[in-house]
Amino acid sequence: METAEIRRRWLRYFSTRGHTVVPSAPLLYDDPTLLFVNAGMVPFKPYMLGQETPPYERATSVQKCIRTLDIDEVGKTSRHGTFFQMNGNFSFGDYFKEKAIELAWELITRDQSDGGYGLDESRLWVTVLQGDEESRQLWKRIAGLPDERIVQRGLADNYWHMGVPGPGGPCSEIYFDRGPQYGPDGGPEADEDRYLEIWNLVFMQEMLSEVRTKIDFDVEAPLPSKNIDTGMGLERMASLLQGVDNLYEIDEVFPVIARVEEITGKRYGANPQDDVRMRVIADHVRSGLMLIGDGVTPSNEARGYVLRRLLRRVTRSVRLLGVQDPSMVDLLTVSKDRMGASYPELETNFARISQIALAEEQAFTRTLSSGTTILDTAVASAKSAGETTLSGDRAFQLHDTYGFPIDLTLEMAGEHGLTVDHDGFRRLMAEQRNRAKADAKSKKVGHADTSVYRALREPGITEFTGYRELSTDSTVRGLILDGSPIEVADKGQTVQVVLERTPFYAESGGQIADEGEITADGARLRVLDVQRPVKGLIVHTVEVTEGTISSGADVLASVDREWRLSACQAHSGTHVVHAALRQVLGPTALQSGSFNRPGYLRLDFAWTSALESTVRDELEQVANLALRYDYPVSATYMPIEKARDLGALALFGETYDEEVRVVEMGGAWSRELCGGTHVEHSSQIGAITLIGESSIGAGTRRVEAYVGLDALRFLGRERALVSQLTEALKVRPEELPERVNSLVARLREAEKELEKGRRTALLNAASSLVDSAADVNGIAVVTHDAGPVDPADARALALDVRGRIAGSRAGVVAVAAVAKERPVVVIATNEEARARGVKAGELVREAAKVLGGGGGGKDDVAQGGGTDATKIAEALQRIQSVVAERSV
């Protein structure tokens, strides 16, 4: 049975039994505690935590999930994978244990011809929490299981909670006995490879007040309504129903391995090391496909870094299997063809997906080539010195100078039997990046404990009136100071205020929060920020500038009119620029992120190359023509399926309700899902002036622009600058480019002449350097600090001086320099010195250690470098000391 069919049967089965089918949430779910959705219950957390009232009593889903803690183990075992799909059925105060067990047992044992999975009842085992006699008796009665196949286990295995105060309860797991060829008898406690867990039924029935560990927690009280949360691993069920050993061999994964066999000429199962690489490729290609499909782009932070790491491991694994040509798009195509049966949007978005992945593959291929050479040299140096650890500064140099990721350094060093000083690497990274800042969102709302916000949310949502008015009479629902509720706030305090109704827009969708003030009898509050810490609740961070404010007070909330107008211009301008990009570049130029504040916007979009000046000009012209056409701007609420049918664009990674707000400009010209504030006609934007276009990562570009008065001010400054230049250069404005180019060309020629003269002067010093040679055990040792010069010139000087050492005298020449603020050292030895055991490669490694780096080369000429230019004199002195030690 194909995986897609297993999925279809699941949804059909529960749909016909009163469950609402809930589409999978994007992998980038709006949950500040998670990097990605990692379990099927994540989209339902607000209902389980009591933050929101569920819109249905029963639900079912097949949720896309990513777990990244075990990336390094992927491929080494048959159980670890990064992407998986979790089938779930949920009850919110409706049915409980008995019905959940009945539904599960019926589906997995019903004959396949009758819509079930047809598992052999005699091979099924279950576990229950020790002491949960009710569940044990239900399994006996409903499933007819004998006592020996109902195993009681402790809290560590059969109790579920979220790791924080909230709901929890016992769980019951279903296992399938794969047979004695997979392990010993004895049930799940004896061997979980043979007895494969396929389904977990969680019976949420208690509220936990304190959670210290998995097995150490306090139960506050029974839940007022008991919930059911179950999860069946789709890939595990597929492996059983398809008669294969593991998830890598199911129909949605193995075709990638088969394609790898074709392009490499290697056979899966023939070589354990090659098998690991093929499994890594198959898993990571599928994960990369799904992540990019949901809007993740490669970067050096957070989610983007996880994707980058997955794609890089694919690239390296393919090359280790002997293929040097680009292969990412080929492999993604195979995966897309298999996953498309369940996720048809992959086909629609594949041009964008493949574009991003190819750009990352090409970029990393260049990094891999240069970084591998440097790493191999560092490994060889460490081994020759008898070391078992690669230094943290060497790992940092690979990362900082060559863009070589630390995880790959760890992996490749391990393949050579070396560990890496990871603590040293992290210390250097901390020094460089000053990682003392917390996540921006958590600084604003402190998401660690949202209980105070949940309590204020219980009476109902905060009504947002800002679409239709800028001033609203309201009442203070609550005040918060340092995460705790208070009754009164005094002048000078900065507190959070929750109102019953508000015109203030809370930061979201790339648009920053409104500014303005809240006034009451004798009190004035300046609004500093507005956020939504929990869904449906708007929280204002304010400074009390006059009087006092108390909970329950009547107030007038007023948004700054100029601020809102400029903010609307910027947000509407973002929609215009997005539509213009798609018109100029094509439909794959989709927005992947945005930010707008009054007068300014930036928009990130999928594209792999820089925009030429003519394209930028065309983009700006198309955008401003849309303003000239004075397109009407409208916002309409509709079901999300209708919005999709209309072609409304959704921002990747955003989560939307079933009822969505569609903002249109000129009808279909620009149609997007958006909750932001906008102008009423495109002409009200005023003007759009592009001020920048750049790369922010492989496959992603960023455009920036000013709008409205800020655009006009920018153009005014540009005009003033042109006027100053034309006056200074005595030319007309249209002649400026030619005159500036001419001056730049002349300047470059002058720089070349200066460089030539400097190089000549440097080499002319060669004879005097020979005269200054120190005698070390009969070897002429020349050391020289050449200062800020090109490494090639330092090398030329070292070779020149070596050639001037007369007769049969042994000689060593060391020239240090500083290039791009980093120290470099070049060492040259003649034949007589080498005959006495003095080798350039060994000397340069010793010098580079002092400089905080590494290096290598041949016995006659070698080059190295480091990070600390202040230690050049010490490094040159070290060379003399090593010559004294090594010469015989």
Predicted pLDDT of residue 446 = 40
Enumerate the known binding-site residues for Zn(2+): 571, 575, 674, 678
Of 58-72, 619-633, 754-768, 830-844, highest mean pLDDT: 619-633
Name the residue with higher pLDDT: 294 or 77.
294
The DSSP annotation for 663-675 comes to EEETGGGEEEE--
Q: Determine contact, residues 517/526, Cβ cutoff 8 Å.
A: yes
**Is 765-886 in the same CATH topology as 564-716?**
no
Which CATH code is given to the segment(s) 3-245?
A: 3.30.930.10
Is 399 exposed, middle or buried, given 0-12, 13-18 or 19+ CB atoms closer than 10 A?
Answer: buried
Q: What six digits make up the tokens of 134?
A: 């009710």
Predicted pLDDT of residue 856 = 77
| Total H helices, total E strands in the chain | 27, 35
CATH C-level class of 442-546 = mainly beta
State yes or no: pLDDT of 108 exceeds 90.
yes
Interhelix angle 97-109/133-143, rounded to 10 degrees, is: 40
Q: Name 797's Cβ contacts closer than 8 Å, sequence gap at least 6.
A: 762, 763, 765, 766, 769, 784, 786, 815
CATH C-level class of 765-886 = alpha beta
Predicted pLDDT of residue 447 = 38
Backbone angles phi, psi at 193, to 5 degrees: -85, -45
pLDDT tens by residue, 296-340: 888 877 788 889 889 989 998 998 899 989 999 999 999 999 999
Backbone angles phi, psi at 476, to 5 degrees: -75, 115
State the average pLDDT for the chain: 89
Confidence of residue 441 (pLDDT cuts 50, 70, 90): very low
Write down the pTM of the prediction.
0.67
Average pLDDT (116-134) is 96
State yes or no: pLDDT of 72 exceeds 90.
no
Predicted pLDDT of residue 793 = 85
Q: Which helix (H) or strand (E) holds 614?
A: helix 613-628
State yes or no: pLDDT of 437 exceeds 60.
no
Length of the chain: 888
Enumerate the known binding-site residues: 571, 575, 674, 678
Poorest-pLDDT segment among 125-139, 319-333, 651-665: 651-665
DSSP strand pairing (633-639 vs 659-665): antiparallel
Predicted pLDDT of residue 416 = 80
Q: Name 834's Cβ contacts closer than 8 Å, sequence gap at least 6.
A: 859, 860
Q: Determine contact, residues 462/499, Cβ cutoff 8 Å.
A: yes
Other CB atoms closer than 10 Å to residue 375's CB: what's the count? 23
Tokens 């094509």, located at residue: 586
Confidence of residue 805 (pLDDT cuts 50, 70, 90): confident
Q: What six digits make up the tokens of 18?
A: 């009163």
Poorest-pLDDT segment among 306-315, 468-477, 767-776: 767-776
The 3-state DSSP class for residue 292 equals helix
CATH C-level class of 564-716 = alpha beta
Average pLDDT (813-819) is 92
Average pLDDT (21-43) is 86
pLDDT tens by residue, 662-696: 999 999 999 999 999 999 999 999 999 999 999 88
SS3 content of the chain, % helix, strand, coil (to 5): 45, 25, 30
The DSSP annotation for 590-609 comes to -EEEEEEETTEEEEEEE-SS
Poorest-pLDDT segment among 145-154, 160-169, 269-278: 160-169
pLDDT tens by residue, 374-419: 777 778 878 777 788 888 887 887 776 666 767 778 877 887 888 8
- Domain positions in the chain are 3-245, 254-433, 442-546, 564-716, 765-886
Confidence of residue 448 (pLDDT cuts 50, 70, 90): very low
CA angle (234 as vertex; 162, 70 as ends), nearest 5: 55
Strand partners, 775: 780
